[in-house]
Amino acid sequence: MNKSTLYRFSLPKGTWMVKLSISNDDLWNKIKDGELKGLSIEGFFTSKYEAMQKAEPTNEEILSALNEIITKSNG
């Protein structure tokens, strides 16, 4: 099942979603008041990207690199 439909979104398959809980009242009030309007999520993707720039990667190498990134981020 597409989890986005649980939250009443109609999004294309493969859309990335994040669910957050804000427990800091001051931060939550700034979000509600529109003072804070964005979110930055840090990821470690550059080393894989740089390694793939040195030679033409195969589809298998690309899929392996993406799988490794996803596995590490879930661990």
Q: Given this model, what pLDDT does residue 36 score?
A: 92
pLDDT tens, position by position, 30-70: 999 999 998 887 766 666 667 667 777 788 888 888 888 88
| Cα–Cα dist 46/24, whole Å | 32
CA distance 27 to 60: 43
Tell me the HSE value of 71 on the side-chain side, using a 13 A CA sphere: 6
What's the pTM? 0.39
Note the pLDDT of residue 46: 67
| Model pLDDT, residue 61 | 83
Query: 1: which 2 tokens?
Result: 């099942």
Q: Using one digit for the tens of pLDDT, what is the confidence trace for 4-13?
A: 888 888 888 8
Contact 48, 65 (CB under 8 A): yes
* Per-residue confidence band for 24, with pLDDT thresholds at 50, 70 and 90: very high
Distance separating alpha carbons of residues 75 and 71, to the nearest angstrom: 6
